[in-house]
Structure 1
Amino acid sequence: MLLKKRKLILVATDMISVAATIYCSYLIRFDGNLPDLYKNQIGIYILASLFIFAGSFHLFKLYNRIWQYASVGELYSLIRASLVGGAISYLFVYLVTGKTIPMSVFIGALQSNLFLTGGVRFAWRMFTDHYQRKKEHHNKALIIGAGDCGSIIAKELKQNQASIMTPVAFIDDDPRKQKSQIYGIPVVGDRQCIMDTVTKYEIRDIIIAIPSASKKELSAIIEICKATKANLKIIPILNDLISGKVSIKEIRDVEVEDLLGREPIKTDLKGIANYVEQKTVLITGAGGSIGSELCRQIAPFQPSKLLLLGHGENSIYTIEMELRTKFPELSIETLIADVQDRERIELIFQRYSPQVVFHAAAHKHVPLMERNPSEAIKNNVFGTKNVAECSDRYGAERFVLISTDKAVNPTSVMGTTKRIAEMLVQSLNTNSETLFAAVRFGNVLGSRGSVIPRFKQQIKHGGPVTVTHPEMIRYFMTIPEAVQLVIQAGALAKGGEVFILDMGAPVKIYDLARDLIRLSGFEPEVDIRIEYSGIRPGEKLFEELLTDEEGISSTKHNRIFIGKPSSLQRSLLEFEIKKLEAVLQEEAEVICGVLQDIVPTFRSEQVSVVEKTEQEKELSLV
């Protein structure tokens, strides 16, 4: 009803404009004294124009357009409709009266009518832009990037009533764009002007709209923006710009991942397809962070069957539903099983005969495993042993173990059990048709139990954010990055390797905490405090990627390196693992002592206590 009312008002306004401009053009032409000769003509001209212009405007759909969003296209349609209406009216009057309309009257009426009808529409747009959108709760936004993407975002922010941001300035490094305007918004300067612009315009939100920029360039811009108190947001995907999907829905908060400054990983799709395509692929721990991402990235390579094995039914159900939605043609089997259950694992291998195995099932939480060493051993050592030995026994072509940098010179039970798992698969490789390999990488951003979700939760509750030590350093990688390299490493495997992923530069956990607080819109140590909780059991200040005996060699992939395979005696390792099995019910100190026998570089508080006690006993006997 309201829409019809608006259309009627607009039609009435247009017709008044048509009549008024024709009448005024005659008066101007004849200096206010209209000759009797033209009195009859003016009446016919006005009456004919009312009907003809109404029809012409309707033909060009001028009453179906939302003039609040008027642009060049609407202006072009208005000009065409006016020209057609004016020309037909001119001919009609000539045919009826036999006299031509004075050319000065015709041109004056046409120009005035175009100005009035267009002016009404664009005045409405100006009103909506500058008055209706001017609300106190709208945040002033700075858009970095005055290209196509930035322009689209600015236009939508100005016009979308659901938006709570109003663009007030652009930043662009291109000197040709500076000191110009886009949709009435000034391009104030290059990235060096960001700080001053935020202060001058009282900016609440910064939107980085440069989807074609490299990761390194984005990281540099984010570093400058972090020094302001504005909330950082980003348009991340160039493909969305190309396909026309860019909108305010694509604006997301800047995440810690954006700070890493790494370029996208280039994957050898052909190499991956060769060993996964039309094969039965088993993924253990398929419901976890790494396991589920393995499922997502392997599914497009068309395995003949994808086996999703996990202990938790909810997580397996979740990834199953996701895959069935995205890949309806893919054959999927969900297997609820515990890798510690040898008989169950045997039955799965007998039934499905997987050709490629990715073993991601593991306990990985360092402090928890310090308190529960026997569970870490049962899952990470004996679970790996079960799956690896079944892979060998039932003729799997490849077995890839997901390992960790915490396995290098470990100070934790978890790291030690993962090192033993690496040793197991390396020893199995010496006498097996199966190609065994391990892939070692550091912390994964956003994975369950990792530091980022913990920090986010603490920030959500107002702090404090707890950091274990001011000098704590870790390597970080995103989940998709890590998984792409794991799959790629599987293609490179010749047997027995430990692949080490290039994790980039290590990151200080303290800096990470500060960045996350800033990216959440708070000021570190002002709005959210950072506290030190002390190094937890099993942790060390920095992680290593190579053991002392492992050299390193490159591969054809610039982000993957190979640690030299260790020379391991299978029989000796088996004997040590049997000793480990025998002490599973003993105290933690005893268990850790056996772990150190297997991995001599392992150092833990429990072992130190035992060694100290033995030394004291020896001294007392002297």
Structure 2
Amino acid sequence: MNRKHRLFISILLDAMLLALAVIFSYLIRFEAEVSEPFLAGIPYALLMVVGCSLAVFIRLKIYNCSWQYASTRELLLLTKAAALAMVTSWVLSFGSGALGLHPPIPSSIFILAGLLSLTAMGASRMAWYVYRHDTVKYQPHHKRTLVIGAGSAGRLVVKELLESPDTTLYPVAFLDDDPRKQKLTVMGVPIVGTRAVLQQTVQAYKIELIIIAIPSLEKRGVAELIGLCKRTGVQVKMLPRVSDMIEGKVTIEHIRDVQVEDLLGRDSVEINLQEISAYLQDKVVLVTGAGGSIGSELCRQISAFHPGSLLLLGHGENSIYAIEQELRRSFPHLELHPIIADIQDRNRIESVFQMYRPGIVFHAAAHKHVPLMEQNAVEAIKNNIFGTKNLAECADTYQVERFVSISTDKAVNPTSVMGATKRITELMIQSLDKQSMTKFVAVRFGNVLGSRGSVIPLFKQQIREGGPVTVTHPEMVRYFMTISEAVQLVIQAGAFAEGGEIFILDMGKPVKIADLAHDLIRLSGLEPGTDIQVVYTGIRPGEKLFEEILTQEEGATASKHQRIYVGKPTDFSYEDFSYVLRRLEQMTHSSYTPSLNEELLSLLHHIVPSYQGVGTR
């Protein structure tokens, strides 16, 4: 049935109900014995009440309401429309009656007709609402679900669960910390206590799944609540975003698994939009590694600050194509230039700078997988060191305003080839900054949650497959950030750039990898060591137990942002540094032999004395 047919049927039904309301009003008013001349006035009363009411209903868009999703707002609108219709009808009747255009119509008829019609039309709409919302009955295959939070979000979650025939979740109880809500029921579901009785509630009600439905709760509070839920051994899901509430409804898709970032409990990053927009707006911005985890998020966030154009440079055509298409959908007016290029190709990189003349460069292209780069040291050196050298020297030649290089905490006292190459790139841009008009800076941070090759997606896959979950060492710890917060701080650090700084992002407290593995297993409703085994495989080549964020000589001073610190520049000569780099570059173009690999590692150690790689110990 199309909209026109539904509209016609709705108007016809309301006309019938309004007519019946007028007739019953006469019967009530005259106690079923309507005498002349009032009997002759019935047709006129019908005409005025029905006509005025339908006109008012159409004017107030009553027929645009979806009564399948009706709320008190729609009922109030219907009440307002019925009252206005009766007042309009009475005024019309009073005026036309004074002119002798029809027999008398008692004023009480309009009051009675208004009450009866409102009751009848409200009942008809509620009947449709009930018909379209059959409440789901508990079935043996349903998971007994506890909802934490009996506010707006919690009520919407329960409403969706009770009305969705496809869900396998059935709400049996609420928890809420508001003392005024205790011992009340919401949609038939009891509020049985506060979070203090979480463990007892899970046992008493045989809970199989917990849904945290407090989207306004700050991150620290979310982490604390998840910590309580973990102890129950029950699977935990949550409704995380206030934005889910904006549309006024919740669907099953909004209820998601707890993510690792929910466990970190850090407050959202606050950035200075005015500073950022000032240095990015209307500029030509180049992002290398634009198809990667960090690079693509850089592109998304930079696009919101209205650059003049955005250059998406990467080596993989599929990833560059994907981010280009996404940005064209999200920012249709932004000038985009996808560029397939290898940063190791100096001539190609120079042609890019010559053609587009970027004003700002964010360098996120790198080989980053630690054990893999231990086996492919030459490629790590060629890409991470000399690819960066090509970009940095082109930035100097073509007078780029700011060059922001993405580094890693693995560059501090490195034990891996990847870490050593990233430390050398830091030294490179610091030394180049001393003789260039370009402001060269590096931004150093730790592991990024959800990035390609990171440990969290691997853990989740292993849990889905039934285990085992593999952890390298029970005492290994790492710093973690979300991709979004890391990139926001990178962009903010670019605004602070004076030249030569290494900006260190505050990553909070380090997290034990084994604890993360156990948390993910428990939050999936499984028990480590019983349902899913945790196996320790040993530290891989190039890895270390603890990551650091500062070298001994750097120290750290605060910046204008509470989450960004500045490491002191290292003092050395670019000419001497360049000589050693030329020797390293010559070696990378030699035929590969095991002895060459040892020489490469020794030279890395010579440039970065704190590096202890194979053959240098």
TM-score by length of 1: 0.82
Q: CA deviation at 1:286?
A: 1.1
Overall identity of the aligned pairs, in %: 53
| Cα deviation 1:217-241 (Å, max 9, x = unaligned) | 1111111122334443333333453
Give yes or no for the alignment of 1:519 onto 2:517: no
Change beyond 3 A, Cα 1:82–1:544? closer
Query: For 1:486 and 1:211, how far apart are their aligned partners in 2?
Result: 27
Change beyond 3 A, Cα 1:132–1:541? closer
Write the mapping of 1:324-343 to structure 2, written as runs, cut at 5 A. 324-343=328-347
Where does residue 269 of structure 1 map in the other structure?
273
Q: CA deviation at 1:135?
A: 5.1
Q: CA deviation at 1:20?
A: 12
| Cα deviation 1:325-351 (Å, max 9, x = unaligned) | 222222222221111111212222222
Instruction: Choose which of 597, 600, 604 in structure 1 pairs with 2:606.
Output: 597
Where does residue 297 of structure 2 map in the other structure?
293
Where does residue 607 of structure 1 map in the other structure?
616
Where does residue 72 of structure 1 map in the other structure?
72
Query: For 2:200 and 2:210, how far apart are their aligned partners in 1?
Result: 13
CA contact (8 A) 2:172 2:205 kept: yes
Where does residue 564 of structure 1 map in the other structure?
568
Give yes or no for the alignment of 1:441 onto 2:445: yes
Where does residue 211 of structure 2 map in the other structure?
207
1:607 match: secondary structure: coil
CA contact (8 A) 2:415 2:543 kept: yes
Gaps of 5+ in 2: none
Change beyond 3 A, Cα 1:107–1:581? closer
CA contact (8 A) 1:376 1:413 kept: yes
Q: CA deviation at 1:251?
A: 3.2
Give yes or no for the alignment of 1:305 onto 2:314: no
Query: For 2:248 and 2:284, how far apart are their aligned partners in 1?
Result: 38
Give yes or no for the alignment of 1:153 onto 2:157: yes
Change beyond 3 A, Cα 1:11–1:110? closer
Change beyond 3 A, Cα 1:164–1:46? farther
> In the alignment, residue 216 of structure 1 is paired with which amino acid?
R
Instruction: Choose which of 474, 477, 481 in structure 1 pairs with 2:478.
Output: 474
Change beyond 3 A, Cα 1:134–1:49? farther
Q: CA deviation at 1:537?
A: 0.5
Change beyond 3 A, Cα 1:44–1:255? farther
> In the alignment, residue 469 of structure 1 is paired with which amino acid?
H
Q: CA deviation at 1:467?
A: 0.4
CA contact (8 A) 1:354 1:396 kept: yes
Q: CA deviation at 1:576?
A: 2.1
Q: CA deviation at 1:436?
A: 1.1
Where does residue 514 of structure 2 map in the other structure?
510
Write the mapping of 1:538-577 to structure 2, written as runs, cut at 5 A. 538-577=542-581
Query: For 1:576 and 1:87, how far apart are their aligned partners in 2?
Result: 93
Instruction: Choose which of 398, 405, 409 in structure 1 pairs with 2:402.
Output: 398
Q: CA deviation at 1:158?
A: 3.5
Query: For 1:134 and 1:338, how far apart are their aligned partners in 2?
Result: 59
Change beyond 3 A, Cα 1:606–1:111? same
* Corresponding pairs, count: 597
Change beyond 3 A, Cα 1:302–1:52? closer
CA contact (8 A) 2:223 2:264 kept: yes
Where does residue 362 of structure 1 map in the other structure?
366
Q: CA deviation at 1:431?
A: 1.4
Give yes or no for the alignment of 1:456 onto 2:460: yes
Write the mapping of 1:42-53 to structure 2, written as runs, cut at 5 A. none
Q: CA deviation at 1:131?
A: 5.0
Between stretches 504-513 and 271-280, larger displacement belongs to 271-280
Where does residue 177 of structure 1 map in the other structure?
181
CA contact (8 A) 2:416 2:611 kept: yes
Gaps of 5+ in 1: 609-622
2:311 match: secondary structure: strand
Change beyond 3 A, Cα 1:14–1:164? farther
Where does residue 537 of structure 1 map in the other structure?
541
> In the alignment, residue 609 of structure 2 is paired with which amino acid?
P
Change beyond 3 A, Cα 1:9–1:387? closer
Instruction: Choose which of 314, 318, 324 in structure 2 pairs with 1:314.
Output: 318
Between stretches 105-114 and 472-481, larger displacement belongs to 105-114
Between stretches 208-217 and 418-427, larger displacement belongs to 208-217
TM-score by length of 2: 0.83
Change beyond 3 A, Cα 1:96–1:511? same
Give yes or no for the alignment of 1:488 onto 2:492: yes
Q: CA deviation at 1:154?
A: 3.4
Query: For 1:158 and 1:546, how far apart are their aligned partners in 2?
Result: 54
Query: For 1:241 and 1:211, how far apart are their aligned partners in 2?
Result: 8
Instruction: Choose which of 193, 197, 207 in structure 2 pairs with 1:193.
Output: 197
Change beyond 3 A, Cα 1:265–1:17? same
Query: For 1:599 and 1:227, how far apart are their aligned partners in 2?
Result: 46
> In the alignment, residue 175 of structure 2 is paired with which amino acid?
I
Query: For 1:121 and 1:64, how far apart are their aligned partners in 2?
Result: 13
